[in-house]
Amino acid sequence: MKGTSGAVAVTTNQNYVFKGKPYNGAFTLPIALGDDRLIGNPYPSALNADEFILDNLSTDNGGTNDRNIFNGALYFWDHFGQENSHYLAAYVSGYANYTLMGGVEAISNDIRINNNNAVGVKKPEQYIPVGQGFFVIAVDAIKAPLTGAVVGGGIVFKNSQRVFVGEGATGTNVGSIFFKGNGKTKEKEPGDKRTKIKLKFNSPTGYHRQLLAGVDERTTNYFDLGFDAPIADINKEDMFWTFDGSKFVIQAVNNFNSDQALSLGVKNAKARLVTIKIDSLEKLDEDISAHIKDQLTGEIYNI
């Protein structure tokens, strides 16, 4: 829903009326193999994204379904540009991602519109607020997934996914973030105890990308449905995790041991300096160090 007609400030309140009975109980929405679909939280309560993902993955992948309905990643459109505009060129936005490993922020890099490489400030967390929309994709991330094929089918919603969680950010993956509007949210107590590293890529011409790598004992160094998020859009200059022949923005592994090595891909339009830095660390032991190794020169950088 857009605002009222005329030049109305973003801060001006506007009432909307929803008619009809709120959704309750279990139901499905169809998605065909090879398609993506815009859906959302249909309930008058928060939706547990982890339970939603698991209910749409097969039991072979730790889920509750008899098949893999989609690839296990959720894509949230984050609009962080001019909000009171009806002009497409003013839509400065990008896709934030969420999996069972956690969330990463959006980058404005849609080549169809005004992609100015701005960075979102919201990261999806475990709980999806009332009315929040997102995309799911019924496509395999790799040609021969080790964890079973995505086949499409009925996207499963049910009451067991519903929780009573107020809207708010935690920074530790247990919040409920709404991706429209700039209202401030109340911080909650931390809850996710898993180790995570978030990297920030800055390109020579100003492109940015946030990547997440985290530890979960249920995962491997290969493609894990529900944990690894295939990249939805690639800039002219960009960075991504690379494994199993595909590109990702979120990668989950089962350890951060001293011999753990994760492959990064960098796309550069010109031969200029790029910057890769630590964006944030969560629950990382003090005796763990992180390095970037240049595969061409063999040089190692301690970050």
| pLDDT value of residue 286 | 84
> Tens digits of per-residue pLDDT, 188-227?
445 788 999 999 998 888 788 899 999 999 999 999 999 9
Q: Which of 62, 246, 263 is nearest to 141 (CA)?
A: 246
Where residue 140 falls among pLDDT bands split at 50, 70, 90?
Answer: confident
Token pair listed for 130: 């009332």
pLDDT for position 28: 96
What letter represents residue 16's amino acid? Y
Identify which of 122, 74, 79 has the alpha carbon closest to the alpha carbon of residue 98: 74
Q: Which residue has the higher pLDDT, 10 or 188?
A: 10
pTM score, two decimals?
0.82
Q: In the predicted model, is pLDDT for residue 146 greater than 90?
A: no
190: number of CA atoms within 13 Å, CB side? 7
pLDDT digits (tens, 9 = 90+) for 47-106: 999 999 999 999 988 999 999 999 999 999 887 666 566 666 666 677 899 999 999 987
In the chain, domain spans = 27-302
Q: What's the CA angle centered on 116, arms 112 and 119, to 5 degrees?
A: 115
- Which residues are CB-contacts of 179 (< 8 A; sequence separation ≥ 6)? 76, 77, 78, 79, 96, 122, 124, 132
Query: Looking at the predicted structure, is the pLDDT value of residue 180 above 50?
Result: yes
